[in-house]
Chains A and B, each alone.
Chain A
Amino acid sequence: MKKGLSKTSLNQLITYGIVIAAYIILQALRSAGMMTSHLAGLLVPMTYYAIAAVALNFCVGILGELSLGHAGFMCVGAFSSAIFSNVFKETLPGGLRFFLAFVIGIAVAALFGFLIGIPVLRLKGDYLAIVTLAFGEIIKNVLNAVYLGKDSKGFHVSMTNSMALGMEEDGKVIINGAMGINGTPRDANFTIAVIVLLIVLFIVQNMINSRDGRAIMAIRDNRIAAESVGINITRYKMLAFTISAAMAGAAGVLFSHNISTLQSTSQYFGYNVSILILVYVVLGGIGSIRGSVIAACILYLLPEMLRSLNKYRMLIYAIVLIAMMIINWAPAAREMRERFFAKFRKEAV
């Protein structure tokens, strides 16, 4: 009995260990000046994509429901928290403000996840993928057309232009339509991002090993059998999906506080970003939380590092994707890997 327990907790510790070790190495490289500013600027995005990948893996790999709208949850998390931070830019101290921005971003993303889940998660089949895909696109386009301002009288909303807000002289435009949100305080840094990643990993891994986690995975493995042993399918699906959306929202908060101009464009929040996150999840291994983190980091950095190769960049990226797929999942490659690690273990003993 003890052996089984320590095996799972050892697995968890390895994941935390990898994240912390990577963090220490990267921080050391940066402070030693061995990192280009371009690469240093990629550290936070890398981390929030890893968070988004873990969030999506919780939905796809653990709950077993395909979501194609996690970029949309990032988007609502990013915008809601950026609005908050802009409003309280002068009145709240940085640390507290950023903490509350997280609370707001996570809560809003969770709310959207919850609302989408109410009708969709009652259905059997792949409806969630369709609805979340639409949700991501709708949210992106709506936020592209919204104007939001604040003056002494309160908030003003318009869908036409910033003039139509009809604000007092002291009014300030917060969301300027397609121009997005300008001047969000850049509160995010690599350390905070890694802490958030660790918290997300902690929540996901602990949850998997709890009563709720078992119920969620039971639904994934066999819905009918899960019902027959008294598991409330809708409740657990809602729980898991809401948590997944909330974690994607946390990634969004890091996003908006790491960029000076937050715009709701396809480049950042389109469906191709949702697909990109899904690629991280699939190549890292569906259901493998650690795999998602590693795959997200490698696959995010790689195309950026290959920029100097210009037009060959995407070619090499594609080859790496295929190679990763084979190394991770082809039976022969897995066997080789097992043998390789078995040798290691023997030497260690």
Chain B
Amino acid sequence: MGTKRQFKVWRGDENGGELQDYQVEVNEGEVVLDVIHRMQATDAPDLACRWNCKAGKCGSCSMEINGLPRLACMTRMSTFEETETVTVTPLRTFPVIRDLVTDVSFNYTKARETPAFAPPAGVAPGEYRMQQVDVERSQEFRKCIECFLCQNTCHVIRDHEDNKKAFAGPRYFIRAAELDMHPLDARTDRREYAQEAQGLGYCNITKCCTEVCPEHIKITDNAIIPMKERVVDRRYDPLVWLGSKIFRREKGEAPRGSAAITATNTGAGPQLPTVTPVPPAGERSPEADAERAVNWHRAVPAPVAPPVGDNGMLAVSEFAFDRPAAPSPFGDDVRFPMPPNQLNYSHPDQPL
């Protein structure tokens, strides 16, 4: 039942190499990795290729198949035409060691730079209590099998070797997001870290990483955009900025919305100066607001609880979402262009 199929496999090392032609028997129901194993057993015993579980769970056999970053164990031969030549090449973003094996140490370096989980003080092992809906957001990112296909495909480093130093890549953005959303992680500077140390700003949301993820993690929508959004909140929302200056919150968690401010105010301790969110009536005019460049009328939206189903679980977004494609990073109730008086942009040169 096997038929001979045409393959081109890149053979070589760091000094260069070329595509070599192979004619290999392919049987019904096989995947590309099965075929590579057959090449090893017949024509090319020293063909270098990483693999482990052959079940799409370990993320070892990452390579580029017909130019697309794929797991070889998850690429069915039936997805190609019988007459089609299948071209297999190593991951392009990382230096080649030999044949299909690349040096992926970049990823391990970045992993080591990402601050680890910080256990909450005073909570003994066995005393951790978390709700399913709260852990589910982080669990999505912990599905990552570290195949590094997202890292390979991300054009920030794929096409610009120089960026590697400053850019951690999608894999480590979801790690930062995972820890940011971890209900008990004691650190509160994950977003700042992503912005300042991981190079989150380089990402311009082309979603290539999400497309290649074999675990279908919504890297862009569920990790990168929320992280960017919150970093933006914090850095550019003057109310939040002012609040964080005045109240000198120890942790990076800035108050969001007036409710948060009230809560802080009623706390014990030295009497802090009170912020009046709305200036006296006489001064309230669009012009005056524009002059200050701060729209004090606009209440910052209060945080909204996640939409939890009857079973207490967070719905998988693609099933529950009422529109195609991803949610807007600015919130789906915001329409563009925004009326000027709803903007809360403040020019750095303007007095507050």
Q: Do A and B come together as binding partners?
A: no
Binding site for A on B (CB under 8 A): none
List chain A positions with a Cβ less than 8 A from chain B. Answer: none
